[in-house]
Structure 1
Amino acid sequence: MSPAADLTRRLGGAWHGGYGTARCPAHEDRSPSLSLADGSAGRVLLKCHRGCSYAEIRSALRSLGAQVNSQPSNISDRELRVADRENAMRRARQAERAWSEAQPLRGSLAEAYFRRRGITCELPPSLAYAENCWHASATRWPALLARVAGGPGPAIHRTYLAHDGSGKAPITPAKAMLGPTKGGAVRLSHGRDRLVVTEGIETGLSLLSGLLPGAPSVWAALSAGGMAALNLPSRPGQLTIASDGDPAGHAAAEQLAARAYGLGWRVSLLPASEGNDWNDVLCGKEARA
């Protein structure tokens, strides 16, 4: 990992292949305004696009215990926007290629992973299997691929699996997005009577494995943040929000519910019991207070 990529990671930012973005430690940054790149002789190039000086950034990094060999960057806002667009296009192409090379789930390690978790429903064509999927740690693992629909462009979600299908791979992160996913979801079923939104793929499939009556459309938003930002269908109907039983899940469900209600949806909340998700409920593994 390069010095700039390592510092980006330590600041909780995102690395985009040739540069990083993170919240600037020199001011109260609500969205990432610090750009980081690798310079010569192992130096990290730093620039705050909200106006913090290089000296202020260095001082803030030292107060966080981050001692880095750095120098000011002359990356302009325009260059950063161009790099963002190019990176987004590259990742979208990678997502399309990964999906086109994936295999059907039937008989795969990914199907075994679901069945071990008590999921008995039919598995949808929005899911596929990659036997040898690249990971940011420069290793390759079996992976469940999920196609994200309704977002800004082609995107997939990857869940890396242990080689025996017993669970997720022992790597960090064990889940990763590829391509622009904001507002999108993995569409797990196409029903008639209502739309049900869950956070995770496994939780959505758990609901389809006997926990929900009727024939709903179930969408997995992939995270609490994804649930809050979900792009809803243009025609309002009945919406059930089946969140995880934790504070982040409750907050995301309330955000989506308020927005949907304002758009004319009939909304009901269906949170899992406290401390659990719907796969815990399906498997009878609910945490007890």
Structure 2
Amino acid sequence: GRRQGHYWQVGDARNTPGRSMFVRLMDTVKGPAGKWTDAATGEHGDLLDVIRESRGLSNFTEVVAEAEAFLHLPPISQGAEAPHGGKQCSSRDPVTSARRLFAAAKPIPGTIVETYLRNRGITALHETGSLRFNPRCYYRPDAHGSTQLLPAMIAAVTDLTGRIMGIHRTWLAPDGSDKANIATPRRAMGHLLEHAVRFGRPYDVMATGEGIETILSVRTALPSLPMAAALSAAHLAVIAFPPRLRRLYIVCDNDPAGNRARDSLIARAAFAGIEAIVLSPALGDFNEDLRAFGVDAVRAELRCLLAPEDVSRFMALSP
């Protein structure tokens, strides 16, 4: 989108290119800042509705939690009242709910999560304790849709000390051949800001990127390098740095949001005295590269981008 006078124009609340949706940027006689309308569909709402649509959330408690995390606010202690005259929502802490959901799931070996990842060319499944499998995970398409029970990959989103602060769900086809054929097969809950899905324990060098599959694709080629998936470009830009980190590899996605996250992360790393090195794919992301060209080609691609001292350290073929 782009600014047009007192409004921000974009295609829709899910950030599609276009100009049919306009968000009021300041209070005017026509209404308060933050209100928006999509002229193409008649949809309208406030900034919480934007969070709900863009993050694919159906539960108002999850929407509030996401807004609180973004604003660095403490969690609400009492039930929040839903907008537009809705019923009062539960005051259940989303972090507690996330921890319970992760605890109820089981390790991925021998499950369709393993099948799903291997179907995407990912073979580096060591140190994947942050991933689990739930054969009957609740999915509801929207506030008015009926609930389904579908198999899902559950990923723990942790802080730098390893505490679970949220989870990420990827609903899968029953045979693990792909993601489930539903409107929003990926959703997160909990406090995600600054946190990530982690693989390996970082010390002085680590890599970070957006998606779980993207990070595990790079780890298939660099099996010893600790990595973290921030789950979105917005969260990648603000991921927390481990205290002893001195070199950060930024695994990019080739899209405008990925480029903005890359630039923001480079600036933050420089300010913190951390060397930042960008790992860019040939196609849209490294999972596309892995599936199109194979692991040997990706390994050769990455070898040219690594700092010389990291080639022998992290390119060992066994973890």
Letter in 2 for 1:28: L
Q: 2: CA distance between counterparts of 1:51 and 1:182?
A: 32
Evaluate the alpha carbon distance shift between residue 51 and residue 247 of structure 1 in structure 2; reply closer, same or farther with a 3 A threshold: closer
Of the three residues 123, 129, 132, the one matched with 2:136 is 132
Of the three residues 66, 71, 79, the one matched with 2:42 is 66
Task: Name the residue aligned to 1:77.
Answer: none
Of the three residues 205, 208, 228, the one matched with 1:219 is 228
Q: 2: CA distance between counterparts of 1:87 and 1:175?
A: 23
Task: Name the residue aligned to 2:292.
Answer: 284
Are the aligned partners of 2:25 and 2:34 in contact in 1 as well (CA < 8 Å)? no
Deviations 1:53-83 (A, max 9, x none): 779999x759666389xxxxxxxxxxx9665
Are the aligned partners of 1:26 and 1:52 in contact in 2 as well (CA < 8 Å)? no
Any stretches of 5+ residues in structure 1 without a counterpart? Answer: 1-9, 14-23, 30-49, 69-79
SS at structure 2 position matched to 1:143? strand
Structure 1 residue 187, shift from structure 2 partner: 0.5
Q: 1: CA distance between counterparts of 2:131 and 2:38?
A: 45
Task: Name the residue aligned to 1:257.
Answer: 266
Q: 2: CA distance between counterparts of 1:102 and 1:283?
A: 28
Evaluate the alpha carbon distance shift between residue 57 and residue 250 of structure 1 in structure 2; reply closer, same or farther with a 3 A threshold: closer
Residues 1:184 and 2:222 are matched in the alignment: no
Task: Name the residue aligned to 1:112.
Answer: 115
Evaluate the alpha carbon distance shift between residue 209 and residue 11 of structure 1 in structure 2; reply closer, same or farther with a 3 A threshold: closer
Q: 1: CA distance between counterparts of 2:148 and 2:12?
A: 24
Letter in 2 for 1:232: F
Q: 2: CA distance between counterparts of 1:26 and 1:140?
A: 36
Evaluate the alpha carbon distance shift between residue 52 and residue 170 of structure 1 in structure 2; reply closer, same or farther with a 3 A threshold: farther
Are the aligned partners of 2:218 and 2:286 in contact in 1 as well (CA < 8 Å)? yes
Structure 1 residue 92, shift from structure 2 partner: 1.6
The two structures have a TM-score, normalised by structure 2, of 0.63
Are the aligned partners of 1:109 and 1:165 in contact in 2 as well (CA < 8 Å)? yes
Of the three residues 122, 128, 137, the one matched with 2:125 is 122
Structure 1 residue 236, shift from structure 2 partner: 3.3
Q: 1: CA distance between counterparts of 2:91 and 2:12?
A: 21
Evaluate the alpha carbon distance shift between residue 270 and residue 83 of structure 1 in structure 2; reply closer, same or farther with a 3 A threshold: same
Letter in 2 for 1:182: L
Q: 2: CA distance between counterparts of 1:67 and 1:131?
A: 35
Structure 1 residue 154, shift from structure 2 partner: 2.2
SS at structure 2 position matched to 1:205? helix
Of the three residues 20, 24, 28, the one matched with 1:27 is 24
Deviations 1:104-145 (A, max 9, x none): 101001110001111111241011001000112221211001
Are the aligned partners of 2:107 and 2:132 in contact in 1 as well (CA < 8 Å)? yes
Are the aligned partners of 2:202 and 2:242 in contact in 1 as well (CA < 8 Å)? no
Are the aligned partners of 1:250 and 1:271 in contact in 2 as well (CA < 8 Å)? no
The two structures have a TM-score, normalised by structure 1, of 0.69
Are the aligned partners of 2:108 and 2:131 in contact in 1 as well (CA < 8 Å)? yes
Q: 2: CA distance between counterparts of 1:201 and 1:57?
A: 32
Task: Name the residue aligned to 1:16.
Answer: none
Q: 1: CA distance between counterparts of 2:23 and 2:209?
A: 37
Deviations 1:133-189 (A, max 9, x none): 011222121100110012896200011101111111111211000111111111012
SS at structure 2 position matched to 1:272? coil
Q: How many residues align?
A: 232
Structure 1 residue 11, shift from structure 2 partner: 7.3
Are the aligned partners of 2:201 and 2:226 in contact in 1 as well (CA < 8 Å)? yes
- Measured on the aligned residues, the alpha-carbon RMSD in Å equals 3.4
Are the aligned partners of 2:203 and 2:242 in contact in 1 as well (CA < 8 Å)? no
Residues 1:100 and 2:76 are matched in the alignment: no
What is the aligned-residue identity percentage? 30
Evaluate the alpha carbon distance shift between residue 28 and residue 159 of structure 1 in structure 2; reply closer, same or farther with a 3 A threshold: same
Q: 2: CA distance between counterparts of 1:168 and 1:179?
A: 22
Are the aligned partners of 1:102 and 1:128 in contact in 2 as well (CA < 8 Å)? yes
1:123-202 correspondence runs (5 A): 123=126, 124-137=128-141, 138-150=147-159, 154-190=165-201, 194-202=205-213
**Deviating runs (4+, > 4 A) in structure 1?**
50-58, 60-65, 80-89
Structure 1 residue 247, shift from structure 2 partner: 2.1
Structure 1 residue 190, shift from structure 2 partner: 2.4
Are the aligned partners of 1:238 and 1:265 in contact in 2 as well (CA < 8 Å)? yes
